[in-house]
Every structure is written in structure tokens, then in C-alpha cells.
Amino acid sequence: MVTEWVNFRAVKAAVSLAEVLGTYRVDWLRARRPGQLEGRCPIHGGERADAFHVSVSRNAFHCFACQAGGNVLDFVAAMEQCSVREAARRLARRFAVSATPLAATVSASGDKGNWLGKNERSNAPLSFTLRGVDSWHPYLQARGILPHTAARFGVGFYPGGGLMSGRVVVPIHDGYGRLVAYAGRSLDGAPPKYRLPAGFWKSQVVFNLHRAAVSSGEAVVVVEGYFDCLKVDQAGFPCVVALMGTVLSDAQEKLLLARFRRVTLMLDGDESGRKGTKRIAAQLTGKCSVRLAMVAAGRQPDQLNQQEICALLEPEGGR
């Protein structure tokens, strides 16, 4: 017997309202100021173009017409006409949010389903989330990342203090959708270009797996970096993940093969990307179907426009 239960706090921490809006195809909201969206209410379907307000930083919403409001659980409950408890359960399933460390379910015998081997390192979930992240920062626009894409991924400029101060932050989740780290990108490329917290093991995580895993397909696009992943998703290929490098670790391989049967490699077009493509393709041969989407020499996926990305992926059935 398998007992399913859900931790409300874990779901709210792991799933942003911006992500959920995307699953309902709510793409008509517009920003009136940084971190704030407004538009027609998707709950009651009213015509007022300024009724529905979303605070991306607070992960909250309010409709001034139908008076609906609250957090991401309240929004799903209102959209699907269910209880908040049921909304939490549905979100936990859709975004693979686990309420217990490294376990999807707990059986009556006490056995735990574990994605990592007994002796492998793991990343503990963070006990906090960064607030005031600006998904409309000019740096993102310069890299071709649209505000709604950045908001859905939780990416943006962080003006607060601490390790990530003054950097563009990228939330990193594990396969269960739990936030385990932030990567901080310097605005001017000054070293370190990317800052990661001490004790974070990126070899144990596949970036964006928790979103890609809830897709209906069995094929996944694999890229190197965070912004490559955002651009491919933005081009219409949401089943995309990033290795955060050119090496596929044993743990990452296990995570991918547990969910996908077809892999399209779309690494950078430089020397390290070419070598990584060859190495990973050989590593996966015989374990799954492998396709290659070769980016032009000297370029990388986040530098491509939508048409170029589609040209590389659509002929191979990348959607």
C-alpha cells in the first residue's frame, strides 16, 4: 500500500504562480511595473483588462472584479473548482514535488523510492527563497529572454544582500521540484561568471528536469547551460533540460533514463561542446535513442533565434 500525502509549504516553495499560469496558457498578462503583472482574470473570464493582478515576487494574486486572491494553491483551487488540499495534491503530482527527502512515496513497509544510490551525494532543499527578483532586467532582454519566460523560471536580477547580491539568479531544483540552489550570473562577465553555493553538487541535478518530467512526450532536448534551456523552452520546446556543463554524470544519466526514452543532444558549437556531444552520445548508445542537433561552429543555443532553434529540432520531432 502506498500512502500519498502532501506538504503545503513544500508545494508553495517549489511551484511559482508564474509557472502555473503558463500551464493554463495564461499568456495575456502584461507588466505595469517590475515584478507585477495584470490583465483579464483567467478565473471568472471577465473583460476588464486591469482586474487580475499578480505579484511575481510574493507569488500571490488578486482579482479586483471577482475578489479571488491568495497564493498558488488558491489559484489552482479557483481554476479547477477543488479544495486547497486537492489543489496541493494536483500540483505536487504535476511538478513532481516530494514532501520527504529523496522519496516520492513511502510504502507500508517503510521502503523509500530513491533516485540516488546509497553512497551518492545529494543536495538538501533550501529553507528560503530569494525575494524581489526582477525578471524584467535589461540584461535578460539583451540575451533575448522574454519577461514571462524569466518569471516562469524564477530568473532575474537580485538586488538584495548575500552571496547572490547584484547578480542574475537562476533557481535550481532537483527532480522532485525542490529548490536546492541558486546560480548567480555576473552582469558584466567578471569572474566568477557564475557563482554557486558551497556544498552544491551539480553532478546530482539536471536543470529543469522537474518541469520537463511532467510533459507528455518521451523525448527530451539536452543543452549545456541555463540560458540555453530558457531559449529552447521559449522557442516552443518545453521538454528541455541542461547539464550545467558538457559532462553527463552517472547520477544525471540515471535521472534522464528514468523518464525519457529519446534524447536530442544540442550542446554548444565550440570545441568542448563538440567533444561533449561525442562523449555523451557514446555513453547513451544502447540505453536510449540519441539524436544530434548540431549548433553552428562558434555558437550556442541561447544565441539562436526561434526560427534557428526550430530548424534544428523540428525535423527530428523535437517537440
pLDDT tens string 126-146: 989 999 999 999 999 999 999
Range of the structural domain that residue 199 is part of: 138-204
Q: What is the pLDDT of residue 38?
A: 87
Q: What is the pLDDT of residue 70?
A: 87
Sheet with 69-70, strands from edge to edge, namely: 30-33, 36-39, 52-55, 60-63, 69-70
Residues of the chain with pLDDT under 50: 1-4, 99-119, 316-319
Q: What is the pLDDT of residue 102?
A: 31
Q: What is the pLDDT of residue 30?
A: 86
Residue 225 covered by a domain: yes
Same domain, 13 and 80: yes
Let me know: does 214 contact 48? Beta carbons within 8 Å: no
Of 32, 21, 14, nearest to 75 (Cα)? 21
Residue 107 covered by a domain: no
Same domain, 192 and 265: no
Q: How many CB atoms lie within 10 A of CB 129?
A: 16
Q: What is the pLDDT of residue 121?
A: 66
Residue 148 covered by a domain: yes
Number of domains, the chain: 3
Q: What is the pLDDT of residue 63?
A: 86
Residue 123 covered by a domain: no
Q: What is the pLDDT of residue 103?
A: 32
- Which of 94, 123, 146 delimits the end of a domain? 94
Q: What is the pLDDT of residue 95?
A: 77
Residue 121 covered by a domain: no
Grid cell, residue 155, equals: 530568473
Same domain, 142 and 240: no
Q: What is the pLDDT of residue 28?
A: 85
Cα first-last separation, the chain: 36
Q: What is the pLDDT of residue 110?
A: 35
Same domain, 218 and 200: no
Same domain, 169 and 227: no
